[in-house]
Amino acid sequence: MSQLRPTLIAIALTLAVATPAQAAVAAGPGITVENGRTQPVFSYADAVREHVYVESTVDSDLDGKLDRVRVDIIRPKESGPGLRVPVIIDESPYYDNSGRGNESERKAYDEAGNVTKFPLFYDNYFVPRGYAVLNVDMLGTTRSDGCPDMGGKADVLGGKAVIDWLNGRAKAYKSDGTPAVADWTTGKSAMIGKSYDGTLANAVAATGVKGLETIVPISAISSWYKYQRSNGVIYNYDYVRYLTNAVDTDPDAKCQQVRDGLHAEDGDDTGDHNRFWAERDYIAGLLGDVSKVRASVFVVHTVNDLNVKPDNFSTWWKELADRHVPRKIWVGQTQHVDPFDFEGRRDLWVDTLHRWFDHWLHGVRNGITQEPRADVEIGPAQWITQRDWPAPFALKASLRPASDGSLGLKPAKKNSTASFTDVNMSENDMVADVGTADPGRVAFTTGALPLDLRLSGTPTADLRVKLDKPTSNLTALLVDFGEATRVDWRRGQGITTLTEEDCHGESTAADDGCYRKVVTNVATRPLEVVARGWIDVQNRDSLTRAKPLPVGTYGTVKWLTLPQDYTFRKGHRIGLVIAGTDSTYSDETGTGANVTVDLAKSSVTLPFVLGTPLADVPKDTARFHGPDQVELPEPEPGFHFF
């Protein structure tokens, strides 16, 4: 008995210590999974709302101190050392200016400086399911230190510092200056967001930071050069200085020196790719590149987004695929629109995102990675799923222009040419009345198609030209001529917001999870510009070093247009328009060069879905005359802003 007593006492003491902890755990909910999804077992109303300042590794405002990143946090009340939760991050420069989402929501704060209203539905939906949601103010914006630098060092390393802090590799402080420790998280994180927010997700992922498990870039930039340039053609002059000032709500004087420095480096005088743009390239850049990406990637973009043009997603997607990065994609047909606002897809989007995060952050085996990789919109609010994007096994077909204005499969006769002058010309004028000669463009069309042809991927323009001046801007437009009802992406970004709401997640009086529904805008028109591509001839061989084309000498100019996924309907005609400077999408002026196109050695190559009988593409023997003037409305104000 004497030998048993110490053992019994030890057991009793152990139980006395363990019982309160066990009781505390039992008193609150834990992560619950049913049907492959985490369940809403945590109270949204009782969630912890706090904020910290994470110390970055940069001093972007040049004040001699490392910038601190403001991080607003909402997490389950039960989260802590005994229940660690993963994190969903939306880092943005827009929380106190343009706001987030279709309803332009901004943060709201209580007297203690904590956020009472988190924009968007992520907090309402995911916090009850065992996640923390972080709204991060990009450096130089809202309540963070520093100056924004349009995708450069400060933008990238500020977000990376937050991931590092969540994993114990960086410091953070509370408002009173005391250290803040993220002892409530597993360190597993996701970054999500539309436009600039999604761009930051791409950028941070490209650093290879550990702990970032997945990103969901929506309408996001992968190369700022592609955002503001196309093969040497400048979309907007002085855009760097404009955007960095637009997102910064501090007094103008604070970051004026920084903005002036960025402007001096942006190369607006040439349009060439330089070190400034290399720093802001997340595919093969100076701060990071696609080879370093550890995170899985769920891409969402639209083929008619002419703000963040779709080559930003298509190039990024291909590079991810080449490296076998786990990935998923949704490809829509509206303009700069969040998938939450794709008509008829809201519930599916929320559920798909939920399962994606559950898989990568909570380790739930729900089959999300075994499903078809791509969801593709093929008509107004009409979607299909397929194994990948572009459509697998697409067959490339080259269509060739001829001197009679036709476009077919056979090369034109030797020495056939067509000429135009590089002048400023709107896209509307380029595609209007293509059966009539115009000194500013040349146009070619097929005959009426005997069947539907689906283009999926990126067309290639391949022209042989000579100039009477050292350079010219070139525009190539692929056009669908034929009356049809299509997505009207030019009006309201392609959607109309209704008054009726639906809700996703829990609500409080200060922050509900309810948002207005939308419908897709459609319009019936006689034509649609399907794909667009621009190049400065002197950048035909290199984006970093201009090389004028010797006057009077033919040279090959080959480049990719913007990608598309589009079906040319039976009875319609495919058109190719070649012109000079596109005043709709570029601030440049025409060079005045006379451009001669060698038709026999020029073509446009289109990726058509396998199985389409391309031999049936007819030659246009009877010239097609379009309407006297086709007026496509210009994109709405704010087009070049996020």
Tell me whether residue 336 is one of the annotated catalytic residues. yes
Question: What share of residues in the chain are helix, strand, coil (percent, to 5)?
Answer: 20, 30, 45
Q: Which of 301, 336, 354, 359 is flagged as catalytic?
A: 336
Q: Using an 8 Å Cβ cutoff, are 130 and 38 in contact?
A: yes
Residues comprising the chain, all counted:
642
Tell me whether residue 305 is one of the annotated catalytic residues. yes
CA 155 and chain centroid, separation = 16
State the CB neighbour count (10 A cutoff) for residue 446: 23
> Given the structure tokens 């501090």, which residue do they identify?
250
CA distance 512 to 258: 39
Q: Which of 195, 223, 314, 586 is flagged as catalytic?
A: 195
Q: Which residues, other chains included, contact 272 with Cβ-Cβ below 8 Å and sequence gap of 6+? A: 232, 539, 543, 544, 545, 546
Q: Which residues, other chains included, contact 392 with Cβ-Cβ below 8 Å and sequence gap of 6+? A: 386, 610
Q: Which of 123, 155, 164, 305 is flagged as catalytic?
A: 305
For residue 537, give the nearest of 581, 471, 595 by alpha carbon.
471
Tell me whether residue 96 is one of the annotated catalytic residues. no
For residue 86, give the nearest of 328, 358, 333, 317 by alpha carbon.
358
Q: Which residues of 195-209 are buried (b: 16+ CB within 10 A; e: fewer)?
A: bbbbbbbbbbbbbeb
Q: Using an 8 Å Cβ cutoff, are 619 and 446 in contact?
A: yes
CA distance 350 to 347: 5
Cis peptide before 450 (omega within 30 of 0): no
Torsion sign (Cα): 175, 179, 184, 189? positive
CA distance 163 to 210: 8
CA distance 106 to 99: 5
Pairing of strands 172-173, 48-55: antiparallel
Report, as residue numbers or ranges, the catalytic residues.
195, 305, 336
